[in-house]
Amino acid sequence: MKIKCNCPQDTHEIIVEADYETDPLWCENCGANLDIDVLPVSQNLMKEVEKWAINYGEWMDWENDRLMVKGEYLEMKHNEIGQSLTMKIKEELEGLSVVFKPSGTAELYKKL
Protein backbone atom coordinates (compact mmCIF):
# COMPACT_ATOMS: atom_id res chain seq x y z
CA MET A 1 0.00 0.00 0.00
CA LYS A 2 1.36 3.42 -0.95
CA ILE A 3 0.99 6.02 1.78
CA LYS A 4 1.87 9.62 1.01
CA CYS A 5 4.67 10.87 3.21
CA ASN A 6 8.23 12.14 2.81
CA CYS A 7 9.84 8.71 2.49
CA PRO A 8 11.46 7.78 -0.82
CA GLN A 9 9.88 4.31 -0.61
CA ASP A 10 6.46 3.02 0.40
CA THR A 11 5.64 3.43 4.08
CA HIS A 12 4.77 0.24 5.91
CA GLU A 13 5.00 1.53 9.48
CA ILE A 14 2.44 3.82 11.08
CA ILE A 15 2.39 5.33 14.56
CA VAL A 16 -0.94 6.23 16.19
CA GLU A 17 -0.30 9.24 18.41
CA ALA A 18 -2.76 12.03 19.14
CA ASP A 19 -1.68 15.65 18.88
CA TYR A 20 -3.45 18.99 18.65
CA GLU A 21 -5.47 19.82 15.54
CA THR A 22 -4.03 17.09 13.33
CA ASP A 23 -4.77 13.52 12.35
CA PRO A 24 -3.19 11.13 14.88
CA LEU A 25 -1.38 9.00 12.29
CA TRP A 26 2.32 9.39 11.53
CA CYS A 27 4.92 7.72 9.33
CA GLU A 28 7.31 5.96 11.69
CA ASN A 29 10.21 6.48 9.28
CA CYS A 30 10.05 10.16 8.29
CA GLY A 31 7.63 11.49 10.95
CA ALA A 32 5.18 12.93 8.40
CA ASN A 33 1.60 13.39 9.51
CA LEU A 34 -0.69 11.09 7.51
CA ASP A 35 -4.16 12.06 6.31
CA ILE A 36 -6.63 9.50 7.67
CA ASP A 37 -9.07 10.41 4.88
CA VAL A 38 -6.84 8.81 2.24
CA LEU A 39 -6.29 5.56 4.12
CA PRO A 40 -8.59 2.61 3.39
CA VAL A 41 -10.28 2.49 6.79
CA SER A 42 -14.03 2.31 7.34
CA GLN A 43 -16.04 5.46 7.91
CA ASN A 44 -17.03 4.24 11.38
CA LEU A 45 -13.41 3.73 12.41
CA MET A 46 -12.41 7.06 10.91
CA LYS A 47 -15.08 8.80 13.01
CA GLU A 48 -13.97 6.96 16.16
CA VAL A 49 -10.36 7.99 15.59
CA GLU A 50 -11.29 11.60 14.89
CA LYS A 51 -13.47 11.78 18.04
CA TRP A 52 -10.64 10.30 20.11
CA ALA A 53 -8.09 12.72 18.67
CA ILE A 54 -10.27 15.77 19.35
CA ASN A 55 -10.23 14.90 23.06
CA TYR A 56 -6.44 14.93 23.22
CA GLY A 57 -5.21 17.00 26.17
CA GLU A 58 -8.55 17.10 28.02
CA TRP A 59 -6.58 16.25 31.15
CA MET A 60 -4.68 19.56 31.02
CA ASP A 61 -5.58 23.01 32.26
CA TRP A 62 -3.57 24.88 29.64
CA GLU A 63 -4.39 28.36 30.96
CA ASN A 64 -2.71 27.53 34.27
CA ASP A 65 -0.22 25.03 32.83
CA ARG A 66 -1.17 22.16 35.13
CA LEU A 67 -3.08 18.89 35.25
CA MET A 68 -6.86 18.96 35.61
CA VAL A 69 -8.46 17.23 38.57
CA LYS A 70 -8.37 13.51 37.72
CA GLY A 71 -5.94 14.39 34.92
CA GLU A 72 -3.92 11.20 35.26
CA TYR A 73 -7.09 9.12 35.03
CA LEU A 74 -8.33 11.03 31.97
CA GLU A 75 -5.01 10.53 30.21
CA MET A 76 -5.00 6.83 31.12
CA LYS A 77 -8.49 6.43 29.60
CA HIS A 78 -7.36 8.33 26.50
CA ASN A 79 -4.43 5.94 26.13
CA GLU A 80 -6.65 2.88 26.61
CA ILE A 81 -8.99 4.04 23.86
CA GLY A 82 -6.02 4.85 21.63
CA GLN A 83 -4.62 1.34 22.10
CA SER A 84 -8.00 -0.17 21.20
CA LEU A 85 -8.30 2.02 18.11
CA THR A 86 -4.78 1.07 17.07
CA MET A 87 -5.79 -2.58 17.06
CA LYS A 88 -8.80 -1.77 14.87
CA ILE A 89 -6.65 0.26 12.47
CA LYS A 90 -4.15 -2.60 12.29
CA GLU A 91 -6.95 -5.02 11.37
CA GLU A 92 -8.21 -2.76 8.58
CA LEU A 93 -4.75 -1.91 7.23
CA GLU A 94 -3.47 -5.45 6.77
CA GLY A 95 0.18 -5.70 5.89
CA LEU A 96 1.20 -2.52 7.69
CA SER A 97 2.90 -2.22 11.03
CA VAL A 98 0.67 -0.05 13.23
CA VAL A 99 1.85 0.84 16.73
CA PHE A 100 0.41 3.06 19.45
CA LYS A 101 2.43 5.76 21.16
CA PRO A 102 0.66 6.75 24.40
CA SER A 103 0.52 10.24 25.76
CA GLY A 104 2.80 10.89 28.72
CA THR A 105 1.86 14.48 29.49
CA ALA A 106 0.42 13.80 32.94
CA GLU A 107 3.58 12.00 34.03
CA LEU A 108 5.71 14.95 32.93
CA TYR A 109 3.57 17.45 34.82
CA LYS A 110 3.62 15.34 37.98
CA LYS A 111 7.40 15.70 38.03
CA LEU A 112 7.33 19.52 37.81
Burial of 44 (0-12, 13-18, 19+ CB in 10 A): exposed
Taking only the tens place, the pLDDT of each residue in 101-111 is: 999 887 777 66
Q: DSSP letters along 35-60, please?
A: -GGGS---HHHHHHHHHHHHTTTTTE
pLDDT digits (tens, 9 = 90+) for 37-48: 888 899 999 999
Separation of alpha carbons 8 and 30, rounded Å: 10
pLDDT in tens, 13-71: 999 999 988 999 999 989 999 998 888 899 999 999 999 999 999 999 989 988 999 99
Q: What does the domain layout of the chain look like in residue ranges?
A: 13-111
According to DSSP, residue 32 is labeled P
pTM of the model: 0.89
Sequence-ordered list of residues with C-beta below 8 angstroms from that of 10, at least 6 positions apart, any chain: 1, 2, 3
Rounded Cα distance between 82 and 77, Å, is 8
